[in-house]
Structure 1
Amino acid sequence: MPAADAAPALEVLVVDDNPATRYATARVMRAAGFSTQEVATGQEALDQARGSMAAVILDVHLPDIDGFEVCRLLRQASDTARLPVVHLSGAYVQNDDKVRGLDLGADAYMIHPAEPALLVATVRTLVRARTAEDGMRRSEARLREIYDQREDMLAREQAARVAAERLSRSKDELIAVLSHELRTPLNAILT
């Protein structure tokens, strides 16, 4: 039984029209510590991927929308554009198929039946890479925010310096006028 404060398992979407293959793939991923959702069609994949998925294992041969198109559509949507996608196909196994899948946005292309350890390692690697990239994006955004705040602070400091210099000149002028006015009556008395 997991500890009460343990992080929830990362969720992987398994998309395959063959129930036995879908079940076997999901079982491998669950044994590796992932939670899974299973769907049989491209449209279901598009609908489910919009959640909090860590990755998608996507068959190419699907009954409604082929996996190539599903991957392309995932890459076009802002909320799924960076979601790791692993094509897993037993039908589209030629190098041209692999190239097409990768060109349309898949992060990896594996042939079914895939070695379970290799599939798990591939998904873990892609999830780690995405997590690192997300961290870098957050750090970059934070650094940009700090830089912008610094620029604003420097602009305010420069404006305050200009205002202080203007006040200092006004003070000097006032002292000069007062000094002159105070000496003028005394000059008449002294002469």
Structure 2
Amino acid sequence: MTPAADEVRQFPRPPLTFTDERARTVDIEVYDGGADPLVAMYTDFDEESRAQGVPPRGETQIREWVETLLEEGLNVVVWHDEAAVGHAVLVPSRDSSELAIFVHPEYQSAGIGTRLIEALLGYGQANGRDHVWLAVARTNHVAMKLYDKVGFETRLRDRAEHEMERPL
């Protein structure tokens, strides 16, 4: 899919520093380090913070999953006080990239997700990605609102989830 010139939005690229809506200063950076900081973040996720089977349960399964994302994707991490509190990744998929984004439960609803997804999309643009898609549970209205805000459009709806996409 080739977007028309007026459809292409340039997104900010990491590194970025900002103050979230709860007055916490956070940093968004490209990440190519080891799995440990992300495993520590994901082990804190409770059942309500999981969707579509991710992050997986159990430290061993989380580590394997994170290592795969780090090997295959473009990764961006949000840091606060030296701890990872958000992670987004673009994973090559067919002729596109699949997007996944996660914000630690204690950092949700503070504007971090919006900044994180914008930074990831900017990083994708800088690395030649031109199309992104994602799947979201149809009941996850908060996430769907975020994706709409950054220009994703629904391409497929079913009972359990929606697939959304956007050109870069």
Normalised to the residue count of structure 2, the TM-score between the two structures is 0.29
Q: 1 or 2, which has the higher helix percentage? A: 1
Choose between structure 1 and 2 for higher RCO, CA contacts under 8 A separated by at least 6 residues.
2
Instruction: Give the structure with the higher percent strand.
Output: 2
**Larger Rg: 1 or 2?**
1
